[in-house]
Amino acid sequence: MTDSVTIAEWRLREITRSIFAAAGASPENAARVAAALVGSNLAGHDSHGVIRIPEYVAAMRSGELVPDASPEVAHETPVSAVVNGNWTFGRVSAAFATRLAVRKARESLLAAVGIVRCHHTGRIGEYAEMAAAEGIILIVMGGGLGNTRPLAAPHGGRRAVLGANPIALGFPTDGARPPVIVDFATTVIAGGKIQVARAAGTRLPTGAILDRDGRPSTDPNDFYNGGVILPFGGHKGYALALSVELLTAALIAPGTWAEEGHGGPVFGPSGHFLLAISPAVFGARDEYLRVVEETLARIKAVPPAAGFTEVQIPGEPEAQERERRSRDGIPIAPATWQAITSTAADLGVAT
């Protein structure tokens, strides 16, 4: 594998913002998407970072994504809402929906928000982090693309019928520790991580995909040649993926909001489900924070097993990687950097 290119966070953010602005994004949308993409790289999730720039620009040019649109509330109650993303960047729509869910949870202790007409939202753990920073618990799920562009096979199957259907949960702490952030696809590996592996020329973990003939493979190219991703944990990951599908594609019914020419086969029929919870919903917020701290301290006190230096809380690896990459720069695979610089040059943006 060729050595990566290392780019300072501020420079990568400015390049990204300039690319989207040149491609037609509003100033607010360009800044938000640049912050979200580079933020994913900072957290160590390169699959949801700037590797997405060329495909977002292509989606803007095709009309699949409307770069200067703004999300809006389609209808709401005191404890619920449907956000219409108007086919703008999913990173914009999901941030808007998260802020709305947080506000409603503060006012009513609980809030459920659905997002429709929503393009790629990226790393959904970001929205759990946003809510946790505001002192609100948030559960986020994304799914629905199994209807038109499935990626994952059900347990025991060899044909794709589901999406990667990610789940994220964010739990605020008292501030002495990072918030607890749980964020994972219901598949062994997310589709974006296969994209990263192909760009970097590396193999996939054993047991992550099947090729088009239903045989196990570690070659990323086999996935793009008709292969499928497998659910993590066998029947358990499959059951979670199905649950996400029912809470997004069925409960929110994003397919009824679909419009020809927008969203494309992946995002046209997909949706997101957010459930925001105030820590005071069942009692005193201070008691919630006390028990959280007590629980995390008890877990951190466990001696590390062989091959480990410490027991980590979900969210700690991202916090540590964010600190490291903010200091040392963000590594970008050469193939990814080439695609970004080519897109920038085509738009007259200097890199």
User: H or E element: which one contains 260?
Assistant: none
Topology of the domain covering 69-187+233-301: Ribosomal Protein S8; Chain: A, domain 1 (3.30.1370)
Quote the percentage of the chain above a pLDDT of 70. Answer: 99
The angle at the Cα of 125, spanning 272 to 191, to the nearest 5 degrees, equals 75
Mean pLDDT of 186-194: 91
Mean pLDDT of 166-177: 95
β-sheet bridge partners, residue 332: 5
CA distance 276 to 128: 9
Mean pLDDT of 7-14: 97
For residue 282, the 8-state DSSP code is S
Nearest to 140 by CA among 111, 100, 167: 167
For residue 231, the 8-state DSSP code is B
Residues with Cβ < 8 Å from 132, sequence gap 6 or more?
138, 170, 171, 172, 173, 179, 180, 181
Mean of pLDDT over the chain: 95
pLDDT of residue 266: 83
CATH 3.30.60.50 intervals, the chain: 196-230
CATH 1.10.1530.10 intervals, the chain: 1-68+319-351
16 φ/ψ angles, rounded to the nearest 5 degrees: -65, -45
- For the segment 34-47, what is each residue's pLDDT rounded down to a tens digit? 999 999 999 999 99
Amino acid occupying residue 184: F
pLDDT of residue 294: 97
Mean pLDDT of 168-183: 96
CATH 3.30.1370.60 intervals, the chain: 69-187+233-301
177 φ/ψ angles, rounded to the nearest 5 degrees: -125, 160
142 neighbors 122 (Cβ within 8 angstroms):
no
Topology of the domain covering 1-68+319-351: Hypothetical Oxidoreductase Yiak; Chain: A, domain 1 (1.10.1530)
Tokens of 122: 């990226």
- For the segment 45-84, what is each residue's pLDDT rounded down to a tens digit? 999 999 999 999 999 999 999 999 999 999 999 999 999 9
User: H or E element: which one contains 268?
Assistant: none
Phi-psi region of 214 (alpha: psi -120 to 50; beta: other; left: phi over 0): left
- For the segment 118-153, what is each residue's pLDDT rounded down to a tens digit? 999 999 999 999 999 999 999 999 997 656 778 999
Give me the count of residues in the chain.
351
β-sheet bridge partners, residue 271: 143
pLDDT of residue 212: 95
Quote the percentage of the chain above a pLDDT of 90. Answer: 90
pLDDT of residue 210: 96
pLDDT of residue 147: 60
Please say if the pLDDT value at position 310 is more than 50: yes
**Per-residue confidence band for 278, with pLDDT thresholds at 50, 70 and 90:** very high
- For the segment 196-245, what is each residue's pLDDT rounded down to a tens digit? 899 889 999 999 999 999 999 999 999 999 999 999 999 999 999 999 99
Please say if the pLDDT value at position 1 is more than 50: no
CA distance 203 to 224: 14
Evaluate if pTM is beyond 0.85.
Answer: yes
pLDDT of residue 145: 62
Class of 196-230 per CATH? alpha beta
